Chains A and B, each alone.
Chain A
Amino acid sequence: MTDFIAKAAAATIVVFARAVTAVRAIWSEEGLPSRPCIYFANHSSHGDFVLVWAVLPPRLRRQARPVAGAEYWLKSPLTRFIGSDVFNAVLIARDRDKRTEDPVAQMTSAIDAGSSLILFPEGTRNQSDARLLPFKSGIFHLAAARPDIELVPVWINNLNRVMPKGEIVPIPLICTVTFGGALRIKPDETKDAFLERMQTALLALSPKPAGSGE
């Protein structure tokens, strides 16, 4: 029963997200990833993973599990239902001191079980004017632990304007989700070099800011 409600809720959320944002996926020339992978995206809204999830074809969508902050998604029964049951999120504790589980271990075990992950390496929603916040090191430790896994950069455009922080009514604006070519960690790549390379690959997908075409 819960499963049925969760599926119905997922379908409703996807229809709603599509109706508001008319979201469109722009795939990389390499096409769709054929194996489970890590989608890593910029983060500016709670709806980010919904959009990535919504544009994935059903076959890939069933494999994909968003990685999200436990503090937020376990806050109330509703968010818990949406986080755990509807989207089957890998919920990680962001607060180092209160952790009982190692986030990287949680993510690797999800990968080992055949899932793809939707990851936001900035760690928190970007409220600044910078296009991207510096990545946290989790994605590096994850890639180092599973060096064969492909990392797919995903740029989510405009969703921060649809629903800025603190607003409750979404503004219908057209969003795009751009997928880049798959990347892998290089042998002996340092943490800084890897994070730098991932950030550059993600930024390369972002469009020029609107209205700057003079």
Chain B
Amino acid sequence: MSAASSDLLTLVAGIFGVLILASTIGYVLQQRLSPTGSNASIENLNARIKAWWIMVILIGIAFVAGRIGVLILFGFCSFAALREFVTLINTRRADHWALAAAFFIVVPLQYYLLWAEQYGIFSIFIPVYAFLLMPIISVLRGDTERFLIRIAEVQWALMICVFCASHVPALLTLNIPGYEGRNVLLIAFLVIVVQLSDVLQYVWGKLFGHIKIAPKLSPSKTVEGFAGGVISATLIGAALWWITPFTPVQAGLLAFVITLMGFFGGLVMSAIKRDRGIKDWGNLIEGHGGLIDRLDSVVFSAPIFFHIVRYWWSL
């Protein structure tokens, strides 16, 4: 067995352990406090834990399937996230072809470029080519009503849901000396740290939270939750150094950057939700809301993590 797959197995065993513990706690809480399903928080907690099982198993299957599996999984995530995003923006009939191009050309091409390992064009395809061509497609219909808002929103949707999200599987293309064949563990590191940071912020906030950190944006986020979540996720990131090419200190620093970006990404996406007058991005994941509700922090941290690793570790 290769080092990568034995590390992956250890990791999966660890994650299953955490989920079993979470499910047990959820079950006990339900039996004690909400035997009839009357306590909404506990029902939601259990729905979330159940959804975590499904997400972990899906990611696990993608990892086992290798590069193609990971690309298909994140390609699907981009598609579903873009669908949630575009549902909420101002579009008019004149944008029809531009939107069709976004879903059926930009998304597949962005992931194809990763498959073909064409990093140069991958990194500018959406910021340059989609950025210039999408408004051209829209303008040909001659509808100027709210034009700037429309093209800006479509570009933002593409940047967040496709460009940024595709930087998670882009980690597979990095060529790090001494780390060959193990890149999938970088994805695991990123996703575990970001998601644990979200979960731990929630847990710390529920247990000790008093001072609201951004009452206008996200009334449930507290200073205590933020500090506790970031510190504990940073420590967990450092403890996961053995699956990365980093030293424990480097792993901790990177985890710190990831959690900060994730936190602020969550705030930005909350602000957009407030602006649109909605609570969740969708209903794809039971208990969590939409896919973007789960992906927002990953999306903000992935490109930064990718570039730091690419600059200092990759050839």
Interface residues of A (CB under 8 A from B): 22, 24, 158, 161, 164, 167, 169, 171-174, 208, 210-213
Segment at the interface with A among B26-34, B95-103, B130-138, B298-306: B95-103
In the bound assembly, the distance between CA atoms of A22 and B103 in angstroms comes to: 15
- Point out the residue from A171, A174, A212 that lies within 8 Å of B96, measured CB to CB: A171
On whether the beta carbons of B83 and A213 are closer than 8 Å, the reply is: no
In the bound assembly, the distance between CA atoms of A169 and B86 in angstroms comes to: 16
Known: A161-B91, A164-B93, A213-B276. A169 touches B83 (CB 8 A): no
| Closest 10 pairs (CB-CB, A-B) | A213-B277, A174-B87, A169-B100, A172-B83, A171-B99, A173-B87, A164-B93, A167-B96, A211-B90, A172-B103
Known: A22-B282, A210-B88. A169 touches B104 (CB 8 A): yes
- Point out the residue from B79, B97, B277 that lies within 8 Å of A172, measured CB to CB: B79
On whether the beta carbons of B83 and A174 are closer than 8 Å, the reply is: yes
Contacts of B145 in A (CB 8 A): none
On whether the beta carbons of B80 and A22 are closer than 8 Å, the reply is: yes
A sample of 25 cross-chain residue pairs with beta-carbon separation below 8 angstroms, ordered by A number, consists of A22-B80, A22-B83, A164-B93, A164-B96, A167-B93, A169-B97, A169-B100, A169-B104, A171-B99, A171-B100, A171-B103, A172-B82, A172-B83, A172-B86, A173-B83, A173-B87, A174-B83, A174-B84, A208-B277, A210-B87, A210-B88, A210-B90, A211-B89, A211-B90, A212-B277
- For B79, B93, B96, B97, which residue has the most chain A Cβ atoms within 10 angstroms? B96
- Point out the residue from B96, B99, B104, B275 that lies within 8 Å of A213, measured CB to CB: B275
On whether the beta carbons of B86 and A173 are closer than 8 Å, the reply is: yes
Contacts of A172 in B (CB 8 A): 79, 82-83, 86, 103
- Chain B residue at smallest Cβ distance from A174: B87
How many chain-B residues does the 8 Å CB contact rule pick out? 24
Residues of B105-126 at the interface with A, using a CB-CB cut-off of 8 Å, are none
Known: A22-B83, A161-B91. A174 touches B282 (CB 8 A): yes
Contacts of B276 in A (CB 8 A): 210-211, 213
Contacts of B83 in A (CB 8 A): 22, 172-174
Contacts of A210 in B (CB 8 A): 87-90, 276
18 additional contacts (CB under 8 A) given A22-B80, A173-B86, A210-B87: A22-B282, A158-B87, A161-B91, A164-B93, A167-B93, A169-B96, A172-B103, A173-B83, A174-B87, A174-B282, A208-B277, A210-B88, A210-B89, A210-B90, A211-B88, A211-B89, A211-B90, A213-B275
